[in-house]
Amino acid sequence: MFNSNRYITKGVQENISLELQFFMWDCIDDLSEPKDYLQVFNLSVVGSLQRITHTSEEPEYKKEYLIPSEKPITEKVYVIDDGDHSTMLLAEEY
């Protein structure tokens, strides 16, 4: 899972910084197998920090990160692996 070509949607390209995109891909890469085909990232603002809550259902997983950010955002991001490729998209684009 998540070892094939990776794509982002226009919404991710326009709303999520490259730094944050790479951070989320790294979070998925660091997971042990097996990985759920759907990874969820809830992005929220805590003062001047970016909170990133990474979850999946099967197997159940949850980890939270706080990282410094000049422009923290609030957004929900899905990363879906269909076997042929992985796509990062905003929840509203699903």
- Supply the mean pLDDT for the chain: 97
Q: Which residues pair with 43 in a beta bridge?
A: 52, 75
Q: Give the class (CATH, top level) of 5-93.
A: alpha beta
* Residue-by-residue DSSP string for the chain: ---SEEEE-HHHHHHS-HHHHHHHHHHHHTSPSS--SEEEEEEEEETTEEEEEEEETTTTEEEEEEEE-SS---EEEEEEE-SSEEEEEEGGG-
Please report, for the chain, the start and end positions of each structural domain, with discontinuous segments joined by +.
5-93
pTM: 0.96
How far is C-alpha 88 from the chain's CA centre? 7
Q: What is the pLDDT of residue 67?
A: 95
Q: What is the pLDDT of residues 20-65, one digit of tens each?
A: 999 999 999 999 999 999 999 999 999 999 999 999 999 999 999 9
